[in-house]
Structure 1
Amino acid sequence: MAKWKRALLGLAGILLMNAAIYTCYTVAFTIVSYTKERRNHDAVTSALVHDAELIARAVSGVDGSKNTEAWAASLQPIARDQGYRFLVVDSNGHELRIGDWTHAADAAVTKEQVADVLKGKTVKDVNRAHFFAKGEALAGIPVDVGGVKAALFTEREVPILYKGFGQQLFTVFLGFLLLFVVLFMIGKPWKQREGINLYISAIRRMSKGDFSVSIEKPQRMHGDFEKLATSLNDMAAELSHMEQMRQAFISNVSHEIQSPLTSIRGFARVLQQDGLEEEQRQHYAGIIETESVRLSKLSDNLLKLTTLESEKQPLRLKTFRLDQQLRTTILACEPQWTEKQLQLDINLVEELTLNGDEELLSQVWMNLLSNSIKFTPEGGTLSVEAVRKDGGAVVRIADTGIGISEADLPHIFERFFKADKARSRMAGGSGLGLSIAKRIVELHGGSITAASELGAGTAMNVMLPGDEGRTNM
């Protein structure tokens, strides 16, 4: 009976300690988040200022001659569709309110802020009634309304400081609780106090984002403590790798998006200039359209890859002729390989029937063929071959293009990786095509490999199993 009492007291101590830790953590999170928001609104207000500038340009037109009625007519659909609230105050003190101000405080925009904006300054602020309330992001910029200086204030709701915090806190709390229970149950935890403190310190550092944690010489610890130390080291290494991948992904996405946005912004400014010839105007407009299409394709590919990797993409299985699908895809690419005068070596003699998602697999062949055509010089050769193997099929698409270096070859299926960055940029590639192709093939239980030699060409081999060999569908 005494053992049970000690166990209950120990568990109660663990719960109280966790409660104290997470209470302090919550208070610290509140203070840091609120202070950061009050001193630095870059995450919300900078974007709101950018939106306000774009809206002002669109509403005012090139010459900025639109009057108050024209501004009201233009701002009302934006406020309705996007959830903005607008306040326009001119130098004479006349106000124009657009949007749903029913639940917004009329005093959200102060006289001092109006005066600052009318002087040509930009105002940014976030207001919250209290820590647990949603906030109101405010941005004010100077504008010209029918030749009169005015201040345009744009206001929008921002989420609470604790969005997602509860789930995160509860998950970490359960993790700590389970860890303490495991350590308590595996034997003599109080005699291993030094080791437990080492584990606690390591876990706390990892919970704060420090994945450089390493418990030195875990083999010196006894029994299950050695296994636990090794597992913590492995977990820290894996989390560190995932964090590096996350940062690289964010960096790549930002770079890919920023490049076309910079072009669109620059040529849009040029189009606003007077005295442009029609031929120049059409040329600049065509560049803006091309960059917009590039952004759209990047967005579509990101969405497609995210859906495929989340395993939420349902496979619409059907039986179809793989050889006919390959012929159709080759014909669809005819303008590209005809323009470059490529020689085709097609070996699709065997009739191949496959059970799979015809639409997704068609995207695989289109991605692979497009890459081969894109990076094969004029007069080169493009080969396509499909044969039956073990109830499934093997498709080989090869070219005599520029090839891939030995150092780059292991990375070509990674997201945003471009072996020849200069040529990929000129060709408009985003570095997602092979990642999408690989994921689709894996969803079908198959595999895709590449063999290449720099300057001699590349061969992509896709293995698709038959129904008996497919295990993950």
Structure 2
Amino acid sequence: MKVIAGILLMNLLTYTCFAASYTVIGFVKERRGYAAVTERLAQDGRLIGAALAGRPPAERRPALEAAARERGYAVVLADASGERIAASGGGSGASADPVLSPASLQSVLAGDTMERVERKYPFSKGTATAAVPVSLGGKPYALFLEQPAPSLYHDFWQQVMTVFFGFLLMFVLMLLIGRPWRVQGGFSVYISAIRRMSKGDFTVSIDKADRMRGHLGELATSINDMAAELNQMEQMRQAFISNVSHEIQSPLTSIRGFALALQQEGLDERQRQHYAGIIEAESVRMSRLSDNLMKLTALEADQQLLHPRTYRLDQQLRSTILACEPLWSEKDIFMDVNLDERVPVTGDEELLSQVWMNLLTNSLKFTAEGGTVSVEAKRTAGGAVICVSDNGIGISEEDLPHIFERFFKADRSRTRRLNGSGSGLGLSIVKVIVDLHGGEVKASSKLGLGTTITVTLPDPSSADREAQPPAQQTRTS
């Protein structure tokens, strides 16, 4: 009984201190502008600003309204002259048209970033505001985002209960194991490993975990497995940040270099137009990268819900091929099209259209002049199978398993020399969309001989559909 009373008293003291530190840290972070909610707002503001940079003035309001609706923000884009565009996503507690103080507006227009959370009381809900500077058409703007801020304690009790039962489980294990615990090295090795992981060191490994018996062996193995998974996630996070930085830095360097070149005296009109065209192309590339990143993030976070309906896949594929006609006509590419008539599929028509467009443009991009691109769609008992093939440059065997990863580019120097530099996100978006539809996407390729991408889409309603007449085929070139 004394042991149990001691455990309960220790837990009570621990969580009293935890509650106090939680309150102080959360309050200080908000007052200093480091709240998680405002950090997310500021990051979203930068992404929205990058997306607006590649759009004409007439499209800015629709773009802001779309971003506000998607995330439930109140968004204001303002300049020094007082011109402003406001949009609201209808989020509870967010003003439809936030009032901007002149001091805040001038500070952001000067290049500062603002983050703040306003609450009437420390325990109540409030309003989170973030503002970032944006340059549109060479003119400085301030982009303000507002969102309801949850209570400082909105997830406090969940954390308390999680830590409480975690400590309780550890103490129960200590009581149950007794002597074997002391023989196998004590509790300190586990505490040390957990502390190192809490500080960001995921290279932790408890030695001889496979030789430990009973619950201790399972605990040691679980800690090792958790450390390995966290280490892999950290490496992926660092690689993602590195890739994004590289992809953004490349066009920025080009824009800066050619902008400086435009300032030189003695340029004729042809050179000036040439430099301006390169700057415009790099700006469009940055805008496309931002749009693809936002789309990929929304899809992976399930923020974009599917809107499935049953439609004819063969008609959609024909429309996509015709939309790409300037690409295959310019390179004199032969389009070998074999589509079963009346291929029904149930899915989000707009998202699947993005899949076919990405696959077709990839094949056309990496196929030489006079080459062949094949598109085939077959109806199956459980849905449909679509193959997009080409006889282009192909993909090496070591690169093939990685082509659906974000920012991966097979043989970067070669693809850049032949076709320019893409963002490396097209096939990642394809895989995410196909996975959302419960389908499967596979790739096969041989270097120098071409590539085939096969997409299999299930049809949930195929079992209830009456038998269709035998399929006929059409061939287009």
Return closer, same or farther for 1:10/1:204 CA change in 2, 3 Å cut-off: same
Matched residues in 1 for 2:204 and 2:288: separation?
Answer: 40
Matched residues in 1 for 2:7 and 2:346: separation?
Answer: 58
* Paired position in structure 1 for 2:442: 449
How far residue 188 of structure 1 moved from its aligned partner, in angstroms, is: 1.7
The answer to whether the aligner puts 1:206 opposite 2:197 as a matched pair is: yes
Contact 1:323 1:386 (8 Å CA) reproduced: yes
* Paired position in structure 1 for 2:429: 436
1:153-168 map, 5 Å: none
| Structure 2 residue ranges without an equivalent (≥5) | 35-41, 43-48, 50-77, 87-99, 117-121, 123-127, 132-140, 145-149, 464-477
How far residue 100 of structure 1 moved from its aligned partner, in angstroms, is: 2.4
1:72-151 map, 5 Å: 75-77=80-82, 100-101=102-103
The answer to whether the aligner puts 1:183 opposite 2:170 as a matched pair is: yes
How far residue 432 of structure 1 moved from its aligned partner, in angstroms, is: 0.2
Return closer, same or farther for 1:274/1:81 CA change in 2, 3 Å cut-off: farther
Deviations, residues 315-354 of structure 1 (Å, cap 9, x unaligned): 1111110111111111111110111111222111342111
Return closer, same or farther for 1:268/1:309 CA change in 2, 3 Å cut-off: same
How many aligned positions are there? 384
Q: Which amino acid aligns with 2:442?
A: T
Matched residues in 2 for 1:168 and 1:272: separation?
Answer: 54
Query: Which residue of the other structure, out of 282, 292, 303, is the alignment partner of 1:291?
Result: 282
Return closer, same or farther for 1:202/1:354 CA change in 2, 3 Å cut-off: same
SS in 1 for 2:295: helix
* Paired position in structure 2 for 1:59: none
SS in 1 for 2:408: coil
Matched residues in 2 for 1:269 and 1:332: separation?
Answer: 37
Query: Which residue of the other structure, out of 5, 12, 18, is the alignment partner of 1:8?
Result: 5
Contact 1:315 1:357 (8 Å CA) reproduced: yes
Deviations, residues 398-423 of structure 1 (Å, cap 9, x unaligned): 00000000000000000000003124
Matched residues in 1 for 2:340 and 2:163: separation?
Answer: 62
Normalised by the length of structure 2, the TM-score is: 0.68
* Paired position in structure 2 for 1:369: 360
The answer to whether the aligner puts 1:225 opposite 2:209 as a matched pair is: no
Query: Which residue of the other structure, out of 460, 473, 476, is the alignment partner of 1:467?
Result: 460
Matched residues in 2 for 1:294 and 1:190: separation?
Answer: 61
SS in 2 for 1:246: helix
Contact 2:384 2:459 (8 Å CA) reproduced: yes
| Structure 1 residue ranges without an equivalent (≥5) | 38-43, 45-50, 52-72, 83-97, 109-122, 138-153, 158-162
1:394-405 map, 5 Å: 394-405=385-396
Matched residues in 2 for 1:224 and 1:206: separation?
Answer: 21
* Paired position in structure 2 for 1:337: 328
Matched residues in 2 for 1:165 and 1:261: separation?
Answer: 39
* Paired position in structure 2 for 1:249: 240
Normalised by the length of structure 1, the TM-score is: 0.69
The percentage of aligned residue pairs carrying the same residue is: 55
Matched residues in 2 for 1:185 and 1:441: separation?
Answer: 46
Contact 2:105 2:142 (8 Å CA) reproduced: no
Q: Which amino acid aligns with 2:10?
A: G
How far residue 365 of structure 1 moved from its aligned partner, in angstroms, is: 0.5
Matched residues in 1 for 2:171 and 2:24: separation?
Answer: 29
Q: Which amino acid aligns with 2:426?
A: G
Matched residues in 2 for 1:263 and 1:102: separation?
Answer: 33
Matched residues in 2 for 1:404 and 1:382: separation?
Answer: 16
1:301-312 map, 5 Å: 301-312=292-303
Matched residues in 2 for 1:448 and 1:24: separation?
Answer: 49
Larger radius of gyration: 1
Q: Which amino acid aligns with 1:367?
A: N
Query: Which residue of the other structure, out of 354, 360, 370, is the alignment partner of 2:345?
Result: 354
Contact 1:368 1:434 (8 Å CA) reproduced: yes
SS in 2 for 1:182: helix
Return closer, same or farther for 1:174/1:277 CA change in 2, 3 Å cut-off: farther
The answer to whether the aligner puts 1:262 opposite 2:253 as a matched pair is: yes
Return closer, same or farther for 1:184/1:291 CA change in 2, 3 Å cut-off: same
Contact 1:183 1:189 (8 Å CA) reproduced: no
* Paired position in structure 1 for 2:93: none
* Paired position in structure 1 for 2:187: 196
Matched residues in 2 for 1:102 and 1:279: separation?
Answer: 43
